[in-house]
Structure 1
């Protein structure tokens, strides 16, 4: 029997997919389009066809009903592919699913959370302080993914739940993603996205900073005009300062 005949027609396996969180504070398509043009400089491939989760937790949806097809079309023009919605009220789920989007159940709408929150319990009676506190328990250091080979154009490497260490060159068109920090002990010429699940303390370190795009906790900075002259091809680190991405020298 041939391999084609003996193989299963379908298999389901666990797969890690990284999606960009698009945090909306309005659902007005015109205002969002203007903001996206300002953010991307009008570049149609700024996000390189990333998956996107539309987070509407901060929107006042009682004042305006989202036009989901219009929002999907808008973000697709900027190479973002919406796949799910987070923070929508339950009454909107049917319309969202009808547009082919999933409901992100990791976070409930803030309005519903507030309504469902139980009344605070009465304060417990004070108890005597313990005579001696137990000794602190040592916590094992988080692991890191180590890559020793060059990362080629078109490759994407994701270090889930840990740092990513690369000891070889990262070429243009390659992409590094880590939930923790990213360390590149070679030229970094592709895209590097640290703190992918929201860790604002994550950083990016490169022995030779030549990146196309860097991101910390979803905040992006691109280098269409090149890395600042004093930092180009020099050891550097990238960190998040509020809503701003800073690129700093690491030389003594």
Structure 2
């Protein structure tokens, strides 16, 4: 037709990172409580965040879960479920009925947000606890992190390329950026005050360690294009050049 563009649309491959919610209990009330706690620890990251939920552990231990109720809970919590992993045939059908696709487990780059059982004698509010992350493998990112991308690592996060303005990177452990760091970088997001951030060129909009942060206005222009580290000392955020 005259006047119409010859090309209307195209599909492009991209690197997509989404937290994977690994469930170890089918207690919906406890799941809701722990989700609230987890989201409150990093509200900017989890707001409208895509999430893939993994039912592998539940099914291996014969624990049934109401998939429709779980999807509704995730949406009520402000998350956007984008896939189910490890579900049985019936669970997959229920997910598809709610427009949630079935993931085959190929997204090896996804971060894991793990929920596990605590001893039954503990108060109900503590019935879901975060698994220890000290042994979590580091997440390696080799491609540039573009504006609008958000990456969450359950352990250390290592990025070999640049992080663009408008991107957000978060890790429960340390962050290493072997290039220019723009955007927002938050290390130790679950309260790990020993976490550190390392980069070769700091031009970030915001850097944070365990919730203590500095914005671009607080960061000195003289530290640009120099290798440096960011760490906490006496509740103050220290930005220091690496010798």
TM-score (norm 1): 0.50
Shift of 1:164: 3.4
Contact 2:142–2:159 (CA<8 Å) still a contact in 1?
yes
Provide the residue aligned with 2:109 in structure 1: none
Shift of 1:30: 1.0
Matched, 1:77 2:64: no
Provide the residue aligned with 1:110 in structure 2: none
| More contact order relative to length (CA 8 Å, sep ≥ 6) | 2
Contact 1:212–1:222 (CA<8 Å) still a contact in 2?
no
| In 1: Cα distance, 2:207 partner to 2:31 partner | 22
Distance 1:184 1:10, change over 3 A: closer
Shift of 1:190: 0.8
Rg: which structure is higher? 1
Distance 1:12 1:29, change over 3 A: same
Shift of 1:15: 4.0
Provide the residue aligned with 1:65 in structure 2: 64
Pairs within 5 Å for 1:1-252: 2-3=2-3, 5-8=4-7, 10-41=9-40, 45-60=44-59, 63-106=62-105, 144-145=142-143, 155-156=148-149, 163-166=159-162, 171=165, 173-176=166-169, 182-185=177-180, 188-191=182-185, 205-206=198-199, 207-208=201-202, 223=211, 225-226=212-213, 235-236=228-229, 251=242
Contact 2:168–2:183 (CA<8 Å) still a contact in 1?
no
* SS of equivalent residue, structure 1 residue 74: helix
Cα shift readout 1:35-87 (whole Å, capped 9, x = no counterpart): 12222327754413222110111225765432223212222234321111111
Note the residue ranges of structure 2 that are not aligned, 5 or more in a row. 107-139, 152-157, 188-195, 232-237
Query: How many residues end up aligned between the 2 structures?
Result: 176
Note the residue ranges of structure 1 that are not aligned, 5 or more in a row. 108-141, 194-202, 215-220, 239-246
| In 2: Cα distance, 1:143 partner to 1:44 partner | 23
| In 1: Cα distance, 2:207 partner to 2:33 partner | 22
| In 2: Cα distance, 1:8 partner to 1:58 partner | 45
Distance 1:11 1:68, change over 3 A: same
Provide the residue aligned with 1:242 in structure 2: none
Shift of 1:251: 3.9
Distance 1:144 1:14, change over 3 A: closer
Shift of 1:10: 4.9
